[in-house]
Structure 1
Amino acid sequence: MRRWVFAALLLLPLSGCGGGPAPVPDGFSLAEFFDGQSVSQGTVRTALVFGEAFTASFQGRREADRLWLDERFVFDDGERLQRWELSRSRAGIYSGTVATEDGDGKLAPPVPVTGWATADGAALTYDGFAPGGGDTLLNFRHVMTGNGDGTLANHVTISKFGIPIATSEVTFAKTEADLPPG
């Protein structure tokens, strides 16, 4: 189990919960943004105690409002894959699945993902597994917002039993040159 997931489980009582944006019919298109190659950089922070930087590369394939996306994370201790399949309805509702690679290099079975488009981003939620985190089922809530420069900010809240235990701040971009310095 990744050390930050284990530490987060020990620190469950330290955090609270929050709300989210409303759906926008025909709003932001994740399929359009992630079609082709993309990159990201970010950090995950467990209960304000442990921090870990990571990067990721993406290979997406779009058909209308449907997206197949391979996300390859790079952490200090190795690479992990997440495989997404998402569709967006005309009402701006996202549905699909995500499968996450565990610490042994095996993809867990896909779990359902739900969400909604906003005017400049999207929100997704699912109960699944942390990349490389083993078999501890966690809730993930992604809130993505356009930065106005072609990049997309992603604030991720990771919780257990409804209590946030970790957060992640990520920037998505089409090329590494578009990512912020650092």
Structure 2
Amino acid sequence: MKRILTISLLMLMLLVGCSTEISDYHTQQPALDIFHYFQGKTEAWGMVQDRSGKQLRRFHVDVDGDVKGDTLTLNERFVYDDGERQQRVWHIRRTDTGRYTGTAGDIDGVATGQAAGNAFNWRYSMNVTAKGSTWLLHFDDWMYLQDQTHLFNKTAMKKFGVTVGTVTLFFSR
């Protein structure tokens, strides 16, 4: 029992030691203002991978963004390689400097986000159907502005704290 506890503590320390904080990016340029970046039309290409890295799906996204005051509305239209179409409309509020909340029809609860430097971290939960079952997964999005027109997004999808897959996107405006 003592050995299991020791191994568990070491694993926990390793996981905590590897976590990235938004403040790690506060000096990185160009600075990412999601309201500015997503205002107007944006296009993205992405893929979903399982935990081993095997590509499961590819997709294209057309995004229309509209800023009104402290709210950014993002209308995302996905087309997957198998022909499936999906739409998500985000309503993102700037609540404080570098802090955001958001809702969308298929999101469970309220998403929370933080920005610093060229990075934005967005966390939310969503029900995902795969292989005939629906699972509540937790998404940990990290967006990185490369220049004024290109942005990378890497997302870890987690169940019970364990990464079960990733989503990678490349945005262009």
Output the TM-score relative to the length of structure 1.
0.72
1:76 aligns with one of 78, 81, 106:
81
Aligned mates of 1:32, 1:118 — CA distance in 2: 14
Structure with the largest fraction of strand? 2
Aligned mates of 2:51, 2:62 — CA distance in 1: 26
Q: Deviations 1:99-154 (Å, cap 9, x if unpaired)?
A: 23xxxxxxxx6631001012113110011134x65742100011001112521110
Highest RCO, 1 vs 2 (Cα 8 Å, sep ≥ 6): 1
Match of 1:9 in 2: none
8 Å Cα contact 2:32-2:145 kept in structure 1? no
8 Å Cα contact 1:29-1:65 kept in structure 2? no
Relative to structure 1, the CA distance from residue 64 to residue 41 in structure 2 (aligned partners, 3 Å threshold; closer, same or farther) is: same
Residue 19 of structure 2 is aligned to residue 18 of structure 1 = yes
Output the TM-score relative to the length of structure 2.
0.75
Aligned mates of 1:98, 1:38 — CA distance in 2: 18
8 Å Cα contact 2:108-2:124 kept in structure 1? no
Relative to structure 1, the CA distance from residue 84 to residue 110 in structure 2 (aligned partners, 3 Å threshold; closer, same or farther) is: farther
Aligned mates of 1:95, 1:149 — CA distance in 2: 24
Tell me the matched-pair count: 148
Query: Which stretches in structure 2 are left out of the alignment for 5+ residues?
Result: 1-14
2:94 aligns with one of 88, 107, 116:
88
Residue identity opposite 2:40 in structure 1: G
Aligned mates of 1:88, 1:127 — CA distance in 2: 19
Identity, in percent, stands at 25
Query: Which stretches in structure 1 are left out of the alignment for 5+ residues?
Result: 1-15, 101-108, 175-182
1:64 aligns with one of 69, 82, 85:
69
Q: CA deviation at 1:172?
A: 1.0
Match of 1:103 in 2: none
Aligned mates of 1:145, 1:49 — CA distance in 2: 21
Q: What is the RMSD computed on CA atoms of the aligned residues?
A: 2.3
Relative to structure 1, the CA distance from residue 49 to residue 28 in structure 2 (aligned partners, 3 Å threshold; closer, same or farther) is: closer
Aligned mates of 1:93, 1:49 — CA distance in 2: 31
- Moved segments of 4+, more than 6 Å: none
Describe the SS at the equivalent of 2:35: helix
